[in-house]
Structure formats: structure tokens, C-alpha cells
């Protein structure tokens, strides 16, 4: 086994270990017994399906698709569908559990699930991508549905993929747009769903920094990832007067000390298939350098496991807002905590996406189109009240925001499990 492969495996195990450790830390505070911990941690169902297609060149290609349904004690399970070469069962499992705590933290009536295929969507034609999506639905359609498990976009998937998903699901079960969220607005999607995760990151950042007495104009921001979440977070923070000095994507980082021209970078990415490669209005840096920049706020908004025990001692930002899922390893989290760095955890920081997905599901079931103002107002209301609860709990219990969020999330799931009855 090569060192790189071994290194990747260790990184992934770390992401899985981290979510377990965060859970256990909160469970210790709550005096949860071993039996209840096991019950809450064990996924309800895990599925692997073959996804085989004939490629444009006539060759047969086969991938494995995963769906992990972690918990449904508070409602149908909910979670994204990721297309990325690094996807594997351990990662999907830990992301599914994160969804359970996340939907609970923001108190929407869902459980948690996650899915994915270890595939690089950039290497496929649109026809191939559509066939992959439809084949995956063929494999799991009996196990999902508007009252069971509702997928949504995640890394490497978007509204187009969700439209194919809905269409393929309808072939088996009839028209039911609530079977998936994150659809195009003109095809039963929600105005504001696409921006919601990044916008939510912005809303929560604003609330957190306000509580800490920090002013937007004095806050320099570095954002890793310029996809759906990172780009909308950059836009919101820029418009709210924060000084976004660096952004990055898979092509590397782009840094300008005086502040980036965020609208210009957004335009550039739009004109270049969502990619910043070749953007010349800033200094080129690496993704690793971006994480260690001299800034007040760091927003990881791409991959998991990027903040490790190796780079944590060098991180200069005083505040980290976890827009990505599981960006911080548990041993890195300890180092950050010891250094007084405040971390707004993923299960709250990026919950704007699933909250707007919930609005979309409600809209689909009501057969009544919401407008953008209503979506934004409701999003603000849900996230603001969740933030206040987590903040208060962290003050009362003298624990980190992460542990407070887990206590809130696990507590609600635990109570629902007991109320629903185990037998």
C-alpha cells in the first residue's frame, strides 16, 4: 500500500473518529449510559448498490453507491448526495450521523442520512452523469421517499442532478417532488435554496462575531472552497462589509491583503465552469497556506479533515466557522480549544442548507410556491434561535460551542427515541 493511500485512509478514519468523539464528549456531559449511546450511534440501515453505465466511448464503468440512514426518531431521514472520488462507507456513515444531530440542533422534523458515489463528476459527460444518477435511483428507490428519506445536493451534485433524481423516482412511484430537495426553482425547487447554506454561514458568522464584539470591517476572512457553499458565504460576508482576503478551490488559493474583489471573483468563476483556475486579480497561494493566513476568521467550505494536529498550531484565525462537514479532526479541535480559538461547529454552521431543504419539502407538500423573502426570513428565524440556544447552553455548561450543539441535538433525538418507544 502506498504512503499516500495509507495517509488518505488515516485521514478518513480521523473524520469518523472525530464525530464519534464529539458525540461521546457531549454524552459524558449528559450522563448517557453505554446502551443509549450504542442505540443512538448505530445507523438504522446501510445500503451499497452497484452503479454500472456504458460510457460515451462504449466502455463499461462500475461504481458503488452508498446510502446510510442513521436515525428517524424525529421524522423522515434527510441528507445530501455526494459525488466525489474520496467517498467511502465510513465517510458516508459519519456524515449521516452528523445530519441527525444537525436537523435536531435546528429543530426541524427530520432524522439524518447521507449518500454518495466515489466518482469524479468533472470526468464525466452530462449524459454519463445523468445515467449514473438514474442508475443510483434504480438501486435505492424502494428505500427512500418523502416520508422515509429525502436526498439533497452535496459536494459534486447540484439542482440538475436532483431534477434527474426526481424524474427517475417518479418512474417507480409517480409524481412526488418532495422525494428530493435542492431541485431547480422552475421544477418545484425553492427560491433561495441554492444560496441557503452559504447565506446561513453568513447569518451565523454575523451573530457569533457580534456576540464576541467584533466588527465586520475589522474582520479579515479566508474561505476554503468556492463552490455552492463557499461562494455564497463569500458573497454574503462581502455584502455585510467583512474583508474577504482569500478564497480557494481545487485549483489553489487566491489572496489579496487589501481585500478581494468578491463580485469579480464570482463572475470569473461563473464564466469558467465554477472554477477559479487562472484568476489573476490576486496572489496565488496553496490551499494549505490559506488555512494558515493571518486573518480573524477562517471558513473551511470544501472538504472534511483539512484542519489537523499538524496545521492547527499554525492557524492564526481567532474564529473558525465550519461551513464544510467535518473539517476539523478531533485532536486538532483540542489544540484549537486550548489556544482559545472559537469554533462554530458544522452541525450548526452549515445547517442553513437542510433548513431551506425542509422549507422546499413543505412547499412541495403544500403545493404552494414560497417567495424568496419568506424563505430568507424563515431561515434567519430558525438559525438565529438555534444559535441563541447553543450559545446559552455553552455559557451555562461552560463547554465549547461544539459540545453545546451536540448536547442540544443528542438530547432531542434521545427524548424522541424514548417517547416513540424502543420495542
**Positions marked active-site:** 114
Q: Rule CB under 6 A: choose which of 43, 177, 192, 227 binds ligand NAD.
A: 227
Q: Distance between CA atoms of 283 and 222, rounded to whole angstroms?
A: 13
**Residue 156 engages ligand NAD in binding (rule: CB under 6 A):** yes
**Residue 226 engages ligand NAD in binding (rule: CB under 6 A):** yes
**Residue 115 engages ligand NAD in binding (rule: CB under 6 A):** no
**Residue 225 engages ligand NAD in binding (rule: CB under 6 A):** yes
Give φ, ψ of 344 to 5 degrees: -90, 115
Q: Distance between CA atoms of 89 and 101, rounded to whole angstroms?
A: 19
Q: Rule CB under 6 A: choose which of 91, 149, 195, 249 binds ligand NAD.
A: 249
Is residue 178 within 8 A of residue 303, CB to CB? The reply is no
- Show contacts with ligand NAD in window 50-89 (CB under 6 A): none
CA 62 to chain centre: 26
For the sheet containing 149-153, what is the strand order?
A: 45-54, 60-71, 111-117, 77-83, 149-153
Residue 419: CB partners within 8 Å, gap ≥ 6? none
Q: Distance between CA atoms of 319 and 296, rounded to whole angstroms?
A: 6
Range in contact with ligand NAD (rule: CB under 6 A) among 43-51, 172-180, 225-233, 384-392: 225-233
Range in contact with ligand NAD (rule: CB under 6 A) among 22-30, 56-64, 295-303, 364-372: 295-303
- Looking at beta carbons only, is 156 or 414 nearer to ligand NAD? 156
Which cell is 256 given? 489579496
For the sheet containing 220-224, what is the strand order?
A: 283-285, 252-255, 243-249, 220-224, 297-300, 319-321, 342-344
- Looking at beta carbons only, is 249 or 292 nearer to ligand NAD? 249
Q: Rule CB under 6 A: choose which of 113, 129, 155, 382 binds ligand NAD.
A: 155
Q: How far apart are the first and last CA of the chain?
A: 45
Distances (CA, A) of 3 to 7, 9, 67, 87, 395: 6, 10, 29, 19, 43
Q: Rule CB under 6 A: choose which of 153, 202, 345, 414 binds ligand NAD.
A: 153
CB 356 to ligand NAD: min, Å: 8
| Total residues in contact with ligand NAD, by rule CB under 6 A | 24
Q: Distance between CA atoms of 378 and 376, rounded to whole angstroms?
A: 6
Q: Measured at CB, which residue is nearest to ligand NAD?
A: 227
- Looking at beta carbons only, is 130 or 414 nearer to ligand NAD? 130
Which cell is 62 given? 462500475
**Residue 94 engages ligand NAD in binding (rule: CB under 6 A):** no
**Residue 154 engages ligand NAD in binding (rule: CB under 6 A):** yes
- Looking at beta carbons only, is 94 or 248 nearer to ligand NAD? 248
Q: Distance between CA atoms of 85 and 130, rounded to whole angstroms?
A: 17
Is residue 295 within 8 A of residue 221, CB to CB? The reply is yes
CB 33 to ligand NAD: min, Å: 31
Residue whose cell numbers read 495517509: 7
Give φ, ψ of 387 to 5 degrees: -60, -45
CB 114 to ligand NAD: min, Å: 9
Counting every residue written for the chain, the total comes to: 423
- Show contacts with ligand NAD in window 312-371 (CB under 6 A): 323-325, 350, 353
CB 295 to ligand NAD: min, Å: 17
Q: Distance between CA atoms of 193 and 185, rounded to whole angstroms?
A: 9
Q: Rule CB under 6 A: choose which of 129, 166, 244, 303 binds ligand NAD.
A: 303
CB 42 to ligand NAD: min, Å: 22
CB 323 to ligand NAD: min, Å: 6
- Looking at beta carbons only, is 153 or 192 nearer to ligand NAD? 153
CB 233 to ligand NAD: min, Å: 9
Neighbouring CB atoms inside 10 A of 55's CB total 13
Range in contact with ligand NAD (rule: CB under 6 A) among 8-16, 148-156, 309-317, 332-340: 148-156
Q: Rule CB under 6 A: choose which of 73, 94, 205, 287 binds ligand NAD.
A: 287
Is residue 47 within 8 A of residue 70, CB to CB? The reply is no
Which cell is 77 given? 431521514
- Looking at beta carbons only, is 146 or 198 nearer to ligand NAD? 198
Q: List residues near ligand NAD by CB under 6 A.
A: 153-156, 197, 224-230, 248-250, 287, 301-303, 323-325, 350, 353
Amino acid at each position: 500500500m502506498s504512503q499516500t493511500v495509507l495517509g488518505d485512509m488515516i485521514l478518513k478514519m480521523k473524520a469518523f473518529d472525530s464525530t464519534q468523539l464529539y458525540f461521546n464528549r457531549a454524552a459524558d456531559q449528559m450522563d448517557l449510559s453505554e446502551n443509549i449511546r450504542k442505540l443512538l450511534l448505530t445507523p438504522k440501515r446501510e445500503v451499497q448498490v452497484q452503479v454500472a453505465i456504458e460510457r460515451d466511448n462504449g466502455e463499461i464503468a462500475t461504481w458503488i453507491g452508498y446510502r446510510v440512514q442513521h436515525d428517524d426518531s424525529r421524522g423522515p431521514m434527510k441528507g445530501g448526495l455526494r459525488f466525489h472520488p474520496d467517498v467511502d462507507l465510513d465517510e458516508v456513515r459519519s456524515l449521516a450521523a452528523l445530519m441527525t444531530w444537525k436537523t435536531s440542533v435546528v429543530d426541524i422534523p427530520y432524522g439524518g442520512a447521507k449518500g454518495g458515489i466515489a466518482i469524479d463528476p468533472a470526468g464525466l459527460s452530462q449524459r454519463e452523469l445523468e445515467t449514473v444518477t438514474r442508475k443510483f435511483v434504480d438501486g435505492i428507490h424502494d428505500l427512500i421517499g418523502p416520508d422515509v428519506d429525502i436526498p439533497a445536493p452535496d459536494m459534486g451534485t447540484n439542482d440538475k442532478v436532483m431534477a434527474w433524481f426526481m424524474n427517475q423516482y417518479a418512474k417507480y412511484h409517480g409524481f412526488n417532488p418532495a422525494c428530493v430537495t435542492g431541485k431547480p426553482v422552475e421544477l418545484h425547487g425553492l427560491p433561495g435554496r441554492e444560496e441557503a447554506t452559504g447565506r446561513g454561514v453568513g447569518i451565523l458568522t454575523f451573530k457569533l462575531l457580534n456576540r464576541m464584539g467584533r466588527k465586520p470591517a475589522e474582520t479579515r476572512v479566508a474561505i476554503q472552497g468556492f463552490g455552492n457553499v463557499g461562494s455564497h458565504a463569500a458573497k454574503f460576508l462581502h455584502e455585510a462589509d467583512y474583508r474577504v482576503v482569500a478564497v480557494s478551490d481545487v485549483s489553489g488559493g487566491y489572496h489579496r491583503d487589501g481585500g478581494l474583489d468578491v463580485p469579480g471573483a464570482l463572475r470569473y468563476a461563473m464564466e469558467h465552469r465554477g472554477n477559479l483556475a487562472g484568476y489573476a486579480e490576486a496572489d496565488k497561494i496553496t490551499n494549505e497556506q490559506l488555512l494558515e493566513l493571518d486573518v480573524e476568521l477562517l471558513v473551511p467550505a470544501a472538504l472534511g479533515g483539512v484542519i489537523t494536529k499538524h496545521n492547527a498550531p499554525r492557524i492564526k484565525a481567532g474564529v473558525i466557522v465550519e461551513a464544510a462537514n467535518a473539517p476539523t479532526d478531533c485532536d486538532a479541535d483540542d489544540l484549537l480549544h486550548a489556544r482559545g480559538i472559537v469554533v462554530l461547529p458544522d452541525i450548526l454552521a452549515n445547517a442553513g442548507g437542510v433548513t431551506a431543504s425542509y422549507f422546499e419539502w413543505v412547499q412541495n407538500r403544500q403545493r404552494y410556491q414560497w417567495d424568496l423573502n419568506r424563505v430568507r426570513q424563515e431561515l434567519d428565524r430558525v438559525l438565529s434561535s438555534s444559535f441563541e440556544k447553543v450559545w446559552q447552553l455553552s455559557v451555562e455548561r461552560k463547554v465549547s460551542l461544539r459540545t453545546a450543539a451536540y448536547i442540544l441535538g443528542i438530547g432531542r433525538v434521545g427524548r424522541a427515541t424514548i417517547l416513540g418507544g424502543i420495542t
